[in-house]
């Protein structure tokens, strides 16, 4: 893709920049844009990245030229130097934002330990023992209904069919057992 834009001299570029800075003159910006975008895009491509990234960064740089035109000072340097400095800063910002590493669920820092902490294991052991003792005070038919519901994850109709009792009886046994357990465990 050949650069078909006629060369602009420094005075003409400075005049265009002044028009953009002072009046936000769209025609002047368009002339700058058409002249500098191919150059900035090539610069971005040369300093690294693919063509799509180079195009996006060139667009972003030229947008910054539009927004910051009033900051350009011809006494401090050429407009082309100022525009390439903006482009370089856009590139640096893109590198800083850069691609974030993908989340690796097998990263050791994200995988939970196989063994719980000693205090947590001790508390769980005590809770389990309290529950075993409390369940020992229940009627055998209530324990059986509770085990099937909570430990075997069976639905109430399946429990009723397995025990050969009405579903209402299953629900009553489970509810009564839960109430008794709550009272026993609360009193401890």
CA-based nearest residue to 65, from 86, 51, 49: 86
Tokens representing 88? 């370089």
Nearest to 14 by CA among 67, 82, 62, 63: 82
**Which of 60, 29, 28 has the alpha carbon at shortest distance from 44?**
60
Q: How confident is the model over 17-38, as pLDDT tens digits? A: 989 989 999 999 999 999 999 9
pLDDT digits (tens, 9 = 90+) for 41-79: 998 888 877 888 889 999 999 999 999 999 988 888 888
Q: What CA–CA distance (Å, rounded) separates 151 from 134? A: 16
Residue 2 has pLDDT above 50, yes or no: no
Instruction: Name which residue leads in pLDDT, 168 or 99.
Output: 168
Which pLDDT score, from 0 to 100, does residue 68 have? Answer: 93
- Tokens 């800075």 belong to 21
The reported pLDDT for the residue numbered 29 is 93
3-state secondary structure of 72: coil
Distance of alpha carbon 34 from alpha carbon 72, whole angstroms: 19
Q: What is the CA radius of gyration of the chain?
A: 37
Residue 96 CA to residue 152 CA, distance in Å, equals 53
């Amino acid at each position: 893709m050949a650069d078909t834009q006629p060369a602009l001299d420094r005075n003409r570029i400075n005049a265009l920049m002044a028009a953009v800075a002072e009046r936000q003159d769209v025609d002047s910006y368009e002339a700058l844009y058409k002249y500098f975008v191919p150059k900035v895009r090539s610069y971005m491509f040369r300093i690294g990245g693919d063509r799509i990234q180079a195009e996006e960064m060139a667009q972003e740089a030229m947008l910054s030229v539009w927004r910051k035109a009033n900051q350009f000072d011809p006494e401090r340097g050429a407009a082309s130097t100022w525009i390439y400095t903006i482009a370089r800063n856009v590139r640096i910002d893109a590198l800083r934002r850069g691609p974030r590493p993908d989340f690796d669920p097998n990263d050791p820092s994200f995988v939970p330990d196989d063994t719980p902490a000693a205090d947590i294991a001790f508390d769980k052991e005590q809770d389990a023992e309290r529950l075993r003792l409390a369940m020992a005070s229940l009627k055998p038919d209530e324990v059986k209904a509770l085990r099937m519901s909570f430990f075997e994850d069976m639905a109430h109709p399946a429990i009723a069919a397995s025990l050969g009792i009405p579903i209402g009886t299953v629900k009553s046994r489970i509810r009564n057992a839960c109430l008794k357990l709550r009272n026993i465990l609360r009193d401890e």
